[in-house]
């Protein structure tokens, strides 16, 4: 069976990005047969009133325009469903995730599609997948009380059913860049392939 990785780059920087560089290393480490790449430096459209109206209309009742409004969201969800492992390059911008990542989440977290509500509360529908977050920051310590990027990413992935989450950290790059990158590379080398 082919192992498929969905690579999601969220850095606005295409050149010189530490999260992209380390994500490359994770992809090499996994040696997947198939890699789907979604580069969010190319902005996704934000959810708007037309999208929300289409999303809350039962699928059988959607007009052609409503289906078109959800087409990109459907494609992003198909990428998620096809993947066994997600590798997400996640720089921390001003204590949080880049807006590109939040926009992606808004487009893939859909009630009845990637999660559902039950009497026991929300239930993720994308179980059995693994995620590897590659977190890079200049000064924010990953997992600290001021890190609203990796904690948000872990929570929202769990919300849609992806609870097997590893985090590679290259945090505090502004303080000791070389040592921080070496430590992150060692974390990657220790990941189960």
Shortest CA distance to 31 belongs to which of 89, 109, 84, 72?
A: 84
- Residue 73 annotated as binding site: no
- Residues 162 and 110 sit within 8 Å (Cβ to Cβ): no
- Residue 17 annotated as binding site: yes
- Residue 118 annotated as binding site: no
Bridge-based pairing of strands 121-124 and 115-118 is antiparallel
- Residues 25 and 167 sit within 8 Å (Cβ to Cβ): no
Q: Is the dihedral of CA 40, 148, 54, 126 positive or negative?
A: positive
Bridge-based pairing of strands 115-118 and 34-39 is unpaired
- Residue 100 annotated as binding site: no
Q: Which residues are annotated as a binding site?
A: 11, 17-19
Q: Which residues are annotated as a binding site for FMN?
A: 11, 17-19
């Amino acid at each position: 069976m082919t192992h498929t990785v969905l690579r999601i780059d969220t850095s606005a920087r295409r050149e010189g990005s530490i999260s992209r560089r380390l994500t490359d290393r994770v992809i090499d480490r996994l040696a997947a047969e198939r890699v789907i790449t979604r580069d969010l430096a190319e902005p996704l459209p934000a959810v708007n009133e037309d999208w929300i109206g289409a999303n809350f209309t039962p699928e059988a009742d959607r007009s052609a325009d409503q289906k078109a409004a959800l087409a990109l969201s459907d494609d992003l969800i198909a990428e998620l469903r096809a993947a066994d492992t997600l590798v997400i390059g996640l720089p921390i911008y001003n204590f949080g995730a880049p807006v590109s990542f939040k926009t992606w989440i808004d487009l893939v977290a859909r009630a009845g599609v990637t999660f559902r509500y039950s009497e026991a509360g929300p239930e993720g529908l994308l179980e059995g997948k693994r995620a590897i977050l590659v977190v890079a920051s200049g000064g924010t310590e990953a997992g600290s009380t001021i890190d609203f990027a990796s904690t948000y990413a872990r929570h929202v992935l769990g919300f849609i059913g992806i609870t097997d989450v590893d985090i590679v950290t290259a945090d505090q790059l502004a303080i000791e860049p070389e040592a921080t990158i070496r430590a992150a590379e060692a974390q990657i080398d220790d990941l189960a392939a």
